[in-house]
Structure 1
Amino acid sequence: MDDIANKCAGLLLSNIEENEVDLTPPTPETGHVLVGKFYTKRRVSQESVARVMKAAWRIDKNFKVSDMGDNKVFIRFEDAKDLDRVLLLSPWSFDKYLVVLHKLGAGDTVNKLKFNRSSFWVQIHKLPTMNQTREAGLRIGGILGDVEKVDVDENGFCLGSYLRLRVSLDIIQPLCRGRRVRIGESVATWADFKYERLPIFCYWCGKLDHDERDCLQWIRSKETPRMEEKKFGPWLRAIPNRLQKPQWVVASNKSTTGLN
């Protein structure tokens, strides 16, 4: 399409074609829109999405869902606060598969969106307690993606059993299982990463955009890979905080819905 547009730009235009169309930005009442992509091979219906989201999100005002095809939907909110709350409580999953949400801006074109980033809370385990600081979170989290928040007190410390940070991850890349860290002149140690509310992901390659059955590593393998060859596994998952909003799911073999 870009090639066609470039060729058309070089053509002589008629008087009608030369006239520009002024597209004013959407008004606040119509501009509260999320675009969602569902990373599942199963076709997702607009009705199922609307029903389950209404039960899970529990937002103050109403919203409307429009099917875009290719397991993508428009979600139009009446209130911007509800949209922001949904993004803040992400990630969400549908049938335990990841849903990537993007806040639609005035200049965005949906068919150009990559849907390749999602925010997760990541726990960093095995750090020395006095090194569980905001600065450490920013430095370690920077290898994962864009650090949005480090969960520390007003003094910049976390005196719990692990350091917790929220990071925008590139879901096309494999999950990072940990990192070697060195403190001063001491011997480097290993810090484990655990991800909260992690949906289904591939235990072979560690990516979030497909499961084991659709992994190219599995498909291209001349022999059936052995279980011990899996580089990733359930140890990457962290127990969800009971104060956090549950994921929303649809049972694939039932007509009823449920939350977990």
Structure 2
Amino acid sequence: MEDFTLDLEVGPTEYGVSKDWTVVGRVIAEKNLNRGAVKAILKNLWPEKDLLIIGDAGQNMYSLTFENEAKMQSALKEGLWSVMGFSLNLKPWPPDKSIKEVDLSAIPFWLQVHNLPREMMTSRNAERIGNRMGEVLEVKEPMGSFGLNRSFLRVRVSINVNDPLIPGFWIPRGGDRNVWAEVKYKKLSDFCFNCGKLGHGNKFCKSEVISPARFGAFMRAPPARSLLSPLKQRSHSWDGNSNGEEGSWRRQGVARKLQFNTARDTAASRAREMGVRQQHAPEAREIRGSILQIPRQLPQQVSNKPPGCDLSGGRESSSSFHSVGSDLGQLGADPSL
């Protein structure tokens, strides 16, 4: 039978939902995954009210129809998604294209470029690095109103799924000295540490074993931390850790240790400053006298401790301090103070 050409009509939208809200998803895995298990995972990634239909589209490929365009764009923007340890590549499925016409050969990654000299941390360099690794989709400006926002560059790049991932590159620093810039991938699923490709692990790699290994878990970028406002930055400290997108922030604390002598002196000072009423003066003098006699009540074995040590271990001094405060409260302080 000879080949022939046939004009077909454009049909109406199916299920009352525009086909513009449909994407094609391909799980980047060399082996054929269980369809039932994959569909169950896909249903858990999005609420049922958002993801209306999951259809079969080929080996490890599925069509996903969303409720509206906003839900579809959110799914595309929030990727990458992980299914059974493999990356899920999502691309829009236009109504005027067949499933085979949708280009799934590239997958978008947010990249972090670490260990760059500060003078080289510019958006132009980020774009230059991205163009070397694939197609640049977006560049995050590293400079903020108060200087560098972070200690590395960020660029979103569309990378060929069949090419090995790039762990880093050398930067010439003059003479024979070079600096190694590390490249980390956000939301990077399992990949081969031997050949650096997506879709399989080390056990199923068909390439010759490379030693020492160029690839590894160090290429995964940890989850991003939100940037802090200048006001909050003053109450935080930077530890220089490059593992996080903003490093590891920790709140500054004040190490406090209530010494025995400090507790005694503080209690005595407060007794003088409380302004005890005249009619309670005898009781106040009695309390103050008991405070000054506190050292004589300590066990004999601690008398040989060097000056400035916490003789009470932080317990007796604290309880003595609180008991004094409660006694003063029972006497009644002048409400005008």
Both proteins in one fold, TM over 0.5:
yes
Match of 1:170 among 160, 181, 188: 160
2:31 aligned with 1:8, yes or no?
Answer: no
The amino acid across from 1:102 in the alignment is: K
2:185 aligned with 1:198, yes or no?
Answer: no
**More displaced 10-residue stretch of structure 1: 168-177 or 157-166:** 157-166
- Classify 1:208/1:128 alpha carbon distance in 2 versus 1 (closer, same or farther; 3 Å): same
Question: Residues of 2 paired with 1:139 and 1:208: CA distance?
Answer: 24
Instruction: Select the structure with the greater relative contact order (CA < 8 A; seq sep ≥ 6).
Output: 1
Question: Residues of 2 paired with 1:172 and 1:155: CA distance?
Answer: 36
RMSD: 3.1
Residue 256 of structure 1 is matched in structure 2 by none
Counterpart of 1:23 in 2: which secondary structure?
Answer: coil
Alpha-carbon distance, 1:43 to partner: 2.3
- The answer on whether the counterparts of 1:151 and 1:158 sit within 8 Å (CA) in structure 2 is no
Residue 23 of structure 1 is matched in structure 2 by 10
- Consecutive unaligned residues in structure 2, runs of 5 or more: 227-337
Residue 65 of structure 2 is matched in structure 1 by 76
- The answer on whether the counterparts of 1:25 and 1:106 sit within 8 Å (CA) in structure 2 is no
Match of 1:116 among 105, 121, 136: 105
Question: Residues of 2 paired with 1:158 and 1:138: CA distance?
Answer: 17
Residue 206 of structure 2 is matched in structure 1 by 216
- The answer on whether the counterparts of 1:200 and 1:211 sit within 8 Å (CA) in structure 2 is yes
- The answer on whether the counterparts of 1:145 and 1:168 sit within 8 Å (CA) in structure 2 is yes
The structure in which a higher percent of residues are strand is 1
- The answer on whether the counterparts of 1:37 and 1:100 sit within 8 Å (CA) in structure 2 is yes
Per-residue CA distance 1:45-85 (angstroms, 9 max, x = gap): 24x44443343335863421012341211111121111111
Alpha-carbon distance, 1:185 to partner: 9.0
TM-score of the two chains, using structure 1 as the length reference: 0.73
Percentage of matched positions with identical amino acids:
26
Alpha-carbon distance, 1:194 to partner: 0.8
Question: Residues of 1 paired with 2:171 and 2:49: CA distance?
Answer: 45
Aligned length: 222
The structure in which a higher percent of residues are helix is 2
Residue 102 of structure 1 is matched in structure 2 by 91
- Consecutive unaligned residues in structure 1, runs of 5 or more: 10-16, 219-224, 244-260
Question: Residues of 1 paired with 2:96 and 2:57: CA distance?
Answer: 18
Q: Which has the larger radius of gyration?
A: 2
Residue 248 of structure 1 is matched in structure 2 by none
TM-score of the two chains, using structure 2 as the length reference: 0.57
Question: Residues of 1 paired with 2:144 and 2:174: CA distance?
Answer: 22
Alpha-carbon distance, 1:93 to partner: 1.0
Residue 77 of structure 2 is matched in structure 1 by 88
Alpha-carbon distance, 1:165 to partner: 1.3
Counterpart of 1:216 in 2: which secondary structure?
Answer: coil
Match of 1:179 among 169, 175, 186: 169
Question: Residues of 1 paired with 2:144 and 2:49: CA distance?
Answer: 35
- Classify 1:62/1:234 alpha carbon distance in 2 versus 1 (closer, same or farther; 3 Å): closer
The amino acid across from 2:119 in the alignment is: M
Alpha-carbon distance, 1:210 to partner: 2.1
Question: Residues of 2 paired with 1:214 and 1:63: CA distance?
Answer: 35
- Classify 1:210/1:107 alpha carbon distance in 2 versus 1 (closer, same or farther; 3 Å): farther
The amino acid across from 1:92 in the alignment is: W
Residue 234 of structure 1 is matched in structure 2 by 217
